[in-house]
Amino acid sequence: MFKQIRFAALAALAIAAACGLPAVNAAAQSAPAKDKGSAVMSPEAAKRTLTKDTISADTAEKIAHVCEEFATKHGYAGVVYIIDPFGDIVHVHRMDGTRPVQLDGAITKAKTSLFYRANTHELADRIVNDPVQSVQMWANGFHPTPGGLPIVLNGKLIGVIGVTGSDPWDEECAYTALHEVIGTPMPSPDKFKWTRP
């Protein structure tokens, strides 16, 4: 199934390029290097897995807990899905009271953000007046609604987060957690205003 999704993602990227969908600058949300050592895998773990600059399980868990606190404060139950730059699961947190569709939403938001290397809110804004592009994204298994964000540290993608539970809050929940845990810059409050087309 993942190969089908990956093929669909490559096809969608080619279609997006052909349709002129501009690239999104994930580096614009890059966190400063304040605490890189604890946000990514240790050198020993990286050596064992032949990777580097991948979000650590501890950091992913901390991000999920901040999201849970945010969701509880705002009165909803959510799902947080964090993957590494290769699309592999690092951490999943499902609060009590969520429905199966919410887990699927968090997964597809994370995968969409990973494949496009983009904030899913920005993708949603870009296709809102383009029904062809919108249908193509949804048909290929992408989820262009707020809540999927690249996790960028020092200009490098270290992971991706997908949050779902309440559309008006999902993106702000993800940003709040990334800001608190790794120092990702927090956008202005008006950035989070979004309504389903």
Q: Which domains, and CATH codes, for the chain? A: 2-187 (3.30.450.150)
**Residues 6+ positions from 134 with CB-CB distance below 8 Å:** 127, 128, 144
Integer CA distances (angstroms), 142 to 12, 20, 54, 75, in order: 9, 18, 23, 27
Q: Which of 75, 78, 83, 74 is nearest to 65 (CA)?
A: 78
Structure tokens at 4: 């089908």
End-to-end CA distance of the chain: 29
pTM here? 0.76
Tens-digit pLDDT profile for residues 114-165: 999 999 999 888 888 898 988 888 888 898 889 999 999 988 899 999 999 9
The residue-averaged pLDDT of 12-41 equals: 52
